[in-house]
Structure 1
Amino acid sequence: MVVMKYGIIGAGAMGYRYGVMLQENAGVEVDFIDTWEPNVTKVREQGGVSVARDHENRRIVPINIYYPEEYAGHPDVWIVFKKQMQLADEIKRDSEAGIFHEDQYVFSAMNGMGHFEKIAEYFPASHIVCGTAMIATRLDGPANVDFMGAENSEQMHMARYNNEKPDEKVQGIFDDFTAAKLGPVIADEWKGMCMSKVVFNAVTNTLCTMFEMQMGQFIEYDGVRAMSEQLFNEAFDACERAGIHLIETRQQETDSVITVSKAYKYHYPSMYQDFSKGRPTEVDYINGYIAKIGREHDYVCRTHEFVVHEVHMAEMMRKYHQPQANVADPSKTEVEA
């Protein structure tokens, strides 16, 4: 059995989720690397990160957190959770700080697409593990996180960037994720696995953001299934032309919009959380990425291209009015990282 140490790059909602669950449930050693000063300062002031699950049983979980330049540890595996727009600068800073080593592996389950190409500038393909996560987590402020969903409800997929079967180290990561109760499933091929999550987010994240609504409000509209099918059909058509085979069918993706939205009734998707806080959204890495694949293979995803413009227009409108607050249930504002 391989005993490994983990380093989390990006102590945000999902970084905390993975790191704390690995530390507490799998009993492995975890270090956190972050560059957001209020976050690092708060952790050090309160002696750890404040963690709740579904707004209950809040407690301080002691953790080790460092700026890249002060870190002298040597994890076996890095786990990367940064926003797409921040990743290139973050990973460059980490590399210049000298914290990457030839023997290390790296795992990431970020939203959107494009991050593995950036990671591959610093790690060989055989050391990169791609992931997706259907895990909702809320970051209320520096060092203050809320895990959404009942225990053992976490679901994720993972596959090697070179699409080979797990070696000893990848198997060790899978075993640790299983012990951490993150619900991992091994997939045979990374691109179809990741694109299955991207096309899902291209419906729920994007539409909920444009109309500033929770997923439960979203599926109250009778036309949601038809809207979902239109976006999914374009995405699947583009992927098929590119030779990308998703791990779910068109019907399964459409059905999942309804079932997941019901399960997370009060959930504002991650894109809306960025939007509501005045940050750039990741729409270019989600709907925009689907449209890019289409254009590269002589297929125009007209709806996705239009939706990208709509989200950017909504971002522009924030200078005229503030995004709305949670109007359905002020006590529950579930947020995916």
Structure 2
Amino acid sequence: MKKIAIAGAGAMGSRIGSQLKKAGYDVTLIDFWDEHVQAINDRGLEIQTETDTYHIDIPACKPEDAEARYDLIIILTKAMHSEVMLQTLLDRGAIYEDTAILTLMNGLGHDERFAQIIPTTQVFLAVTVWTAGLRGPGQILLEGTGRIDLQRADGENDARTEAIVEMFNHAHLNAYISDNVIQTVWEKATLNSVLNPLCTILDKTIFEFSSYPDARQQIEPIIDEIIAVAKAKGIQLNAQTLIQKIESTYPKNAQGLHYPSMHQDLYRGRLTEIDYLNGQISAYGREFGIPTPNNDMLLHLIHQLEMTHVKG
């Protein structure tokens, strides 16, 4: 794959884009944020790690200014902006019949939404445990390690799958071809649908939330609804496995000291991705006639908080 675009060049997009660029690939960062794009073009992308701070020269543009045709486009916008990004790039001629569109976004239903714009055979789903932070326009913080699991959305693999994995591994992103990425997506979405809204509503870190002695009783009804909805869609989830994944994040030396991304978005005055997490569970529940009162309530509570904290 000769030309790569990172569509949504926030913290994670800039991490992946910078590692691919350092590995020698032709990468362009694409983002809606004017100041971010301008800073990257003026000064390069500033990267701070545990031991160093340096700049990397990498081109950036807004989606409406994209001029090239890309072989791979990695979608890492906020979920609510992804379809506009994809449609804009399609209208600009940046996407052709062999372009692979890989989404690393949180949430559910992205493959279904993207299929309304491009063929499913061009859509790849991926899940990552890499982390990154955005310090300001053109500035990111990189810590820790991670991996990426991916698969074509229809479950088939082709030459592009192998090429993406080889490229990611050349860039030290630790990529693997999944044999059931849909299940992995749902498992991560379950974790996010539990911890993101609860920590946001309660204004607590993950560790602070876990310190409540009845935290497990609090999360189990949410998980049970997600399992029921997933089963209706032909996806088998295991309650104990999900609980273990969630509780493994509680310790301070894991993710316990962190506020989830939804908390960060809300208290920085940004809309959250609740509609693509608990909101999507609720929507699937209505479709299949499955009650989801706990997920419904979390959805409404977050939207109530957005009315207070998000201006404009």
Q: Same fold (TM over 0.5)?
A: yes
Are 2:148 and 1:156 aligned? yes
Flag the 1:96–1:5 CA change in 2: closer, same or farther, 3 A. Answer: closer
Match of 2:29 in 1: 32
Mapping for residues 160-309 of structure 1, pairs under 5 Å = 160-164=152-156, 166-246=157-237, 249-262=238-251, 263-309=254-300
**Is contact 1:239–1:294 with CA below 8 Å preserved after alignment?**
no
Aligned alpha-carbon RMSD (Å): 2.0
Instruction: Quote the Cα distance in structure 2 between the aligned partners of 1:241 and 1:114.
Output: 14
Q: Is the 8 A contact 1:160 1:189 kept in 2?
A: no
- Going from structure 1 to structure 2, the CA distance change for 1:131 and 1:303 (only over 3 Å counts) comes to same
Aligned pair in 2 of structure 1 residues 148, 287: CA closer, same or farther (>3 Å)? farther
Query: Which of 49, 54, 63 is the equivalent residue of 1:53?
Result: 49
Assess, with a 3 A threshold, how the Cα gap between structure 1 residues 147 and 261 changes in structure 2: closer, same or farther: farther
1:311/1:40 CA distance change after superposition, 3 Å = same
Residue 201 of structure 1 deviates from its aligned partner by 0.4
Alignment match, 1:332: none
Deviation string 1:100-139 (CA, Å, 9 cap, x unpaired) is 1122111111011232233223432112111112222211
Q: CA deviation at 1:177?
A: 1.7
Number of aligned pairs? 309
Distance of 2:272 and 2:310 partners within structure 1 = 15
Paired residue type of 1:21: Q
1:103 aligned to which of 81, 98, 101:
98
Query: How many angstroms does 1:319 deviate by?
Result: 7.3
Instruction: Give the match for residue 42 of structure 1.
Output: 39
**CA–CA separation in structure 2 for the residues paired with 1:205 and 1:109:** 17
Aligned to 2:139: 144
Residue 52 of structure 1 contacts residue 58 of structure 1 at CA under 8 Å; is this kept in 2?
yes
Q: With a CA cutoff of 8 Å and minimum separation of 6, indicate the structure with the bigger relative contact order.
A: 1
- 8 Å contact from structure 1 (residues 154, 181) kept in 2: no
Which amino acid in the other structure matches residue 43 of structure 1?
I
Taking only the aligned residue pairs, the percentage that are identical comes to 29
Match of 1:9 in 2: 7
Distance 1:33 1:220, change over 3 A: same
Which amino acid is the alignment partner of residue 261 of structure 1? Y
Q: Secondary structure at the match of 1:227?
A: helix
TM-score, length-normalised on structure 1?
Answer: 0.85
Within 5 Å, which residues of 2 pair with 1:114-153? 114-149=109-144, 153=145
Correspondences of 1:306-317 after superposition (within 5 Å): 306-317=297-308
Aligned to 1:23: 21
Provide Cα deviations, 1:242-300, integer angstroms capped at 9, x if missing partner.
32224xx3212111222223212322211112101111111111011112222222210
Gaps of 5+ in 2: none
Give per-residue Cα distances to partners, 1:136-158, cap 9 Å, x unaligned.
22112211111232xxx303321
| TM-score for the superposition, normalised by structure 2 | 0.92
Residue pair 1:68, 1:99 contacting (<8 A) in 2 also:
no
Q: Identify unmatched segments of 5+ residues in structure 1.
A: 321-337
Letter in 1 for 2:205: Q
- Verify the 8 A CA contact 2:199 2:259 in the aligned structure 1: yes
